[in-house]
A and B are shown apart, each in its own frame.
Chain A
Amino acid sequence: MPLLIDRKLVTDDSWQLVEEADSLPQSGDLLVPLALYLEQKEALDAHSDRLAVKVNGDDDLTPVLSDLERFPMIAIEFPIFRDGRGFSLARILRRAGYKGELRAVGQPARDQLGYMERCGINAFEFDDESYSDDFLKAFDEISVRYQGSADDPRPIYLQN
């Protein structure tokens, strides 16, 4: 699947998404839904390679916020175009000091990429058929930032 990280197209993605407890692999970088992580915490904490969690708007972020260093990557799910909860999740995670990769998964749409990036999301995973290189233009369509956000906390009048 096409993946943009820090506005660059990345070809090799080591993360493997596993959503069922009975199919957890022994090794390899593993991405699991937050609910599965909490349910299988002991086994997953013993996982030999890296571990990431996938969160969505229904999740309570508290267990993630209290253990941010644990996850080199956090995936935020955008299940449908109109569901904007992921924007707030990203801001809350960045505000809490999360420095790792924040990846939009599900349905990140070209016309939302600029806002997602401003909220602190730096990676975007797309369906094969939906992605085009034109997506890279989306980040710079609007260069003015009236309000502070995760990218720059300063409102316009404090910038420069």
Chain B
Amino acid sequence: MYIYNEVDQKIVDERVEQFRDQTRRFLAGELSDDEFLALRLMNGLYIQRHAPMLRVAIPYGLISSPQLRKLAHIARTYDKGYGHFTTRTNIQFNWPKLEEVPDILAELAQVQMHAIQTSGNCIRNTTTDQFAGVTPDELEDPRPWCEIIRQWSTLHPEFAYLPRKFKIAVTGSPRDRAASQVHDIGLHLVKNDAGEIGFEVLVGGGLGRTPVIGKQIRPFLEKKDLLSYLEAILRVYNLKGRRDNKYKARIKILVEAMGIDAFREEVEAEWANIRSSELELTEVEINRVKSFFQPFDYDAEAGNDTTLQQKLDSDEAFRVWYERNTHNHKVPGYTAVVVSLKPQLQPAGDITDLQLDVVADLAEQYSFGQARSTHEQNLVLADVKNADLYAVWQKLAEHNMARPNIGTLTDMIVCPGFDFCALANAKTLNIAEQINQAFDDLDYLYDLGEIRLNMSGCINACGHHHVGGIGILGVDKKGEDWYQITIGGSDREDASLGKVLGRAVAADEVADTLKKILEAYVEQRTEEERFVDTVRRVGVAPFKEKVYAAAH
């Protein structure tokens, strides 16, 4: 992974002191609420329902064992012993004290971490595939490009007061595991007819109250032009994006209003001014950054292991976990492990200080000292030897991180909802618990196959409900929580927005409604057909009928 040099370290150290002074001036009444709001947001600090919330950046989801231990320490010392992983692959703490935040940032800086641009109307953490660098289906490792974007976007003087937040995702595989099509900019590493690798560039995707799938602005961008092209898009957006209404301020609205062709023309005209400038990436720099992401020193003998098969044959629970919670590795004898943060009785994405320490230890002992966070709110140990999988599984199981539900209905993305968030209209955690209780039969879940269930507690869509195979949106109706259900969404390479099933259902009816939807799926599906494909083939009607017919 990328290791800070003196300059990188200096920037986070200076940022800590800058924020310490801003906090001091705010507490002394020298800084207005409005100004401090924008400044603290750019450092990941929200004021939530009960307390401030601090969101810490995990650049493109890559994190080391010492960093995980530092997060555990922060959870223990400054919070109530836990943190929450987000769809931006960051972690947030729900109970820090405002006056202690500068100290937390100073602690983070000790392990090359920070909260820079984890919120606010600026360029946010760039995200990528959690299996980057290890998945066999990859064209090229996207992480060096994420790091190049991280450096360019960090404290960018021109783009700190954009019309609205700005999110970039990069993928290196035709299988999209980063929801790249619902980002302000999605970058796909692709090969052109000449056999060169560059980027397909999408722009104007996003969720929130107006969900939009990104549009292609450029089919192929040479690697050296990456930053000049991004800068051209950002400059056009900064100048032309709407600022009169925050709900119409994202780049997706600008692209829709101008039309992609007119938007492209503006970008290309601006790009022509800056393409051949110092923004052009040099081979030396690209190679320097790539040198931090070289393959590990893998054991050439690992592929000869026979113990894994023995364990799979002899231990049913292990076999079930292995089939569900692991991903192929491109090196023979290695496997990527998904650490499930979707246990039955805890909010999705939550992790305790002890669990953070356990993952840190496992990473150190079995996975070259690194872990990754996923946009589905799980963790990954990407480089585990097959011979070690059993030991890893046992340890994860002991600490409630081995529920074999990855990719199934209960591997839900869930925002914190009304229990924590000041924006939320409805609770989500109680509904997730209801679903967990109703769908605890693993055989049934496995029979249903791959289903992405996403839930948000308000229209801002932090839980990505529009792109869930099943999406649940909490709404407030006269002081009561109701839930609107959509079906048929996807955040993968076949990205699509879910369609509304019908009228919202009451809080205590959500799990039963899901049961009916899934009954309809089982009736309608052809062999091997995923839920989302069935919805696409037969439409919403059969599902609607199943859910609402009985009520009349």
Measured between beta carbons, the chain B residues less than 8 angstroms from A8 are: none
Residue of B nearest to A89 (CB): B239
**A residues lining the B interface (CB < 8 Å):** 57, 81-85, 87-89, 91-92, 95, 109, 111-112, 114-116, 118-119, 141-144, 146-149, 153-158
A156 near B7 with CB under 8 A, answer yes
Measured between beta carbons, the chain A residues less than 8 angstroms from B35 are: 81, 109, 111
Chain B nearest CB: distance from A115 CB in Å? Answer: 4
Measured between beta carbons, the chain B residues less than 8 angstroms from A88 are: 158, 235, 238-239
A153 near B278 with CB under 8 A, answer yes
Q: Quick check: is B470 within 8 A (CB to CB) of the other chain?
A: no
Measured between beta carbons, the chain B residues less than 8 angstroms from A119 are: 157-158
* Extra pairs beyond A111-B22, A143-B14, A144-B7 (10, CB < 8 Å): A81-B161, A87-B160, A88-B239, A116-B157, A119-B158, A141-B14, A142-B14, A144-B8, A148-B279, A149-B158
Chain A nearest CB: distance from B228 CB in Å? Answer: 11
Which of B65-73, B148-156, B448-456 lies on the face that meets chain A? B148-156
- A115, A144, A158: most-surrounded residue (chain B CB, <10 A): A144
Residue of A nearest to B5 (CB): A156
Measured between beta carbons, the chain A residues less than 8 angstroms from B243 are: 57, 82-83, 85
Measured between beta carbons, the chain A residues less than 8 angstroms from B159 are: 84, 87
Q: Quick check: is B398 within 8 A (CB to CB) of the other chain?
A: no
Measured between beta carbons, the chain B residues less than 8 angstroms from A157 are: 282, 284-285, 288
Chain A nearest CB: distance from B518 CB in Å? Answer: 45
* Cα(A118)–Cα(B158), bound, Å: 8
A84 near B161 with CB under 8 A, answer yes
Chain A nearest CB: distance from B465 CB in Å? Answer: 28
A/B interface sample: 15 pairs, CB < 8 A:
A81-B161, A83-B243, A84-B121, A84-B162, A84-B238, A87-B157, A91-B235, A116-B157, A146-B154, A147-B151, A147-B227, A149-B158, A153-B277, A155-B278, A156-B7
Chain B nearest CB: distance from A3 CB in Å? Answer: 21
* Cα(A154)–Cα(B227), bound, Å: 13
Measured between beta carbons, the chain B residues less than 8 angstroms from A91 are: 158, 235
* Cα(A88)–Cα(B10), bound, Å: 26
Chain B, range 223-242, C-beta contacts under 8 Å to A: 227, 235, 238-239
Given A111-B35, A114-B157, A119-B158, also A146-B152 (CB < 8 A): yes
* Cα(A155)–Cα(B34), bound, Å: 32
Chain B, range 152-202, C-beta contacts under 8 Å to A: 152-162
* Cα(A87)–Cα(B155), bound, Å: 13
B152 near A155 with CB under 8 A, answer yes
Given A147-B152, A153-B278, also A142-B18 (CB < 8 A): yes
Measured between beta carbons, the chain B residues less than 8 angstroms from A143 are: 10, 14
* Cα(A83)–Cα(B246), bound, Å: 12
Measured between beta carbons, the chain A residues less than 8 angstroms from B160 are: 84, 87, 112, 115
Chain A nearest CB: distance from B8 CB in Å? Answer: 8
Measured between beta carbons, the chain A residues less than 8 angstroms from B34 are: 81
Chain A nearest CB: distance from B154 CB in Å? Answer: 5
Measured between beta carbons, the chain A residues less than 8 angstroms from B8 are: 144
Q: Quick check: is B38 within 8 A (CB to CB) of the other chain?
A: yes
A144 near B279 with CB under 8 A, answer no
Measured between beta carbons, the chain B residues less than 8 angstroms from A155 are: 151-152, 227, 278-279, 285
Chain A nearest CB: distance from B110 CB in Å? Answer: 18
